[in-house]
Amino acid sequence: MPGKAPNILLIQADQMAAPSLPFHGHPVVKAPHMSALAAEGAVFDSAYCNSPLCAPSRFSMLSGLLASQIEAYDNAAEFPATVPTFAHHLRHLGYRTVLSGKMHFVGPDQLHGFERRVTTDIYPADFGWTADWQRPDERLDFYHTMLSVAEAGPCERSLQLDFDEEVAHQGVRAIYDLARAGRADDTRPFFLHVSFTHPHDPYTITPDYWDRYDDREIDLPRVPAIAREAMDPHSRRVFDACGMAKYDLNEARVRAARRAYYGAISYIDDQVGRLRAALESAGVAQDTVVILTSDHGDMLGERGLWYKMSFFEWSARVPLIVHAPGRFAARRVGGNVSLVDLYPTLVDLAGGTAPSDRPGEMVGRSLVPAIVDQGDAGDDTVLGEYFGEAAVGPVVMIRRGQYKYIVGEDSPPQLFDLAADPDEVTDLSGDPAHAELAAGFAEEAADRWDFADLKRKVILNQRRRRFVFEAQKKGEATPWDFQPVFDASRQYARNCAEILGDSERDARLPYAPEPPTDGPGG
């Protein structure tokens, strides 16, 4: 893009499904700050994650590559330090790159191109959450538990609230610190990634957000629970892995979980408002592109399923807003896009070009032409892969035009026409009228993915990680979890500054220059 490279603020929620948001048509959820972003920005109405699980989705998003290309198989897969990310690329273009919040990095590299991290992560950085396809019937202790639905309701405090309060505080502080540095000796533009853990389960939220909703207004799932025996094989495995039959998920419990989830979205919405207010107060709002997204969605009881781990709309479709009113007009983009498009889009916004040293690898494309030139998003094919818990082999998705095709190594294909059937209740894979279309998708999937070879690689990778994890528990353990470092000797008022007043003035926003000495003693 021409002109001065903008600052970029990327705000990311966790497990926030696009269909649950008011700017995508949800009639109940209250999110005025996000809705204001949507009203003024480019909204992608058909945006998807590329893997419906936290770590693989984020690693794919950061790298612009599919999970299988970087062995980002599950929530304990190492993200290789040799894989360039958009943080590396923006830093190479002269950006200050800062991360506040969750990124679920696994392995000893806990920066991946970020110059600074101002919080630790909420989840462990080791291999302890490695899935095990060789024990498909064994429920591992890190799997989701339906207690989060059975016990849904208000709370005064939670692990997630503790984390996100720190993320928001440090994110706001980073905006002020970056603005002060830009006013002084560091004129580089900034890229700030603020990543929250809400509205991820467990489904709890503080009373003030819980009370923004009333039980009577909480909508029930559009697609009622499907009997376990009638589910497709992958959905049945997700159902079993999460113990979804353990508790009576009556209407009251479903409403409570959805009410808490909606309250958590309103909580995230207020954090979006806090961050935007900080941009305004710091005087950098006009120079900052704001992007909002999530790593994946949440089934939230649709079809009788919860959490993610599938390619149905509530699990795989995510919000994506790009907001910069001074640079382009508000609009809606209808073509299919995905999180791997963020890498080339961010680089394009920063005035750079996408990597050329990995021909044929990067599957994303810049969305800037669709935003600025009021065109479509180009080739609207989206690819998805799932290799995590509850699977026993690869499960993949091809989304193109109005159709979505899903198939697994041991699961029969599913074909949905989302224009005619947005709730995905009619599988067209066996419909004679769609036989040619289904056969084309099947051939394409077979050409793109070697399921047998992928399964072999995943199982070998799982074995290695489980062995390393067990070995590292012996003797003295050195954790990989990120330790934020703050140099207290250079904070606030210290004698490293020659004049105390200079320190106080430098920290002030907006800046107040020293007044002239025009008094009697001047």
Q: Helices 159-183 and 251-281 meet at what angle, rounded to 10?
A: 20
Distance CA 394, CA 68 (A): 10
Quick one: which of 391, 412, 399 has its CA closest to 454? Answer: 391
Beta strand pairing status for 395-400 and 403-408? antiparallel
Candidate list 54, 193, 198, 200, residue with the active-site label: 54
Q: Is 82 helix (H, G, I), strand (E, B) or coil?
A: coil
446, containing H or E segment: helix 435-448
Candidate list 104, 144, 193, 198, residue with the active-site label: 104
Quick one: which of 354, 350, 351 has its CA closest to 341? Answer: 354
Beta strand pairing status for 42-48 and 204-205? unpaired
* Burial category of 28 from C-beta neighbours within 10 Å (exposed 0-12, middle 13-18, buried 19 and up): middle
CA distances in angstroms from 340 to 25, 243, 336, listed in the order given? 25, 32, 12
Answer for the pair 139, 131: CB distance below 8 angstroms, yes or no. Answer: no
DSSP string, 494-506: -TTSS-HHHHHHH
The verdict on whether 26 is a catalytic residue reads: no
Distance CA 311, CA 57 (A): 13
Quick one: which of 118, 68, 115 has its CA closest to 455? Answer: 68
For 295-367, list the strands marked E by DSSP: 317-318, 320-323, 331-338
**C-alpha dihedral (299, 302, 306, 307), degrees to nearest 10:** 0
205, containing H or E segment: strand 204-205
The verdict on whether 88 is a catalytic residue reads: no
Distance CA 234, CA 315 (A): 13
Computed on alpha carbons and rounded to an integer, the radius of gyration of the chain in Å comes to: 24
Answer for the pair 94, 6: CB distance below 8 angstroms, yes or no. Answer: no
- As annotated, the active-site residues are 54, 104
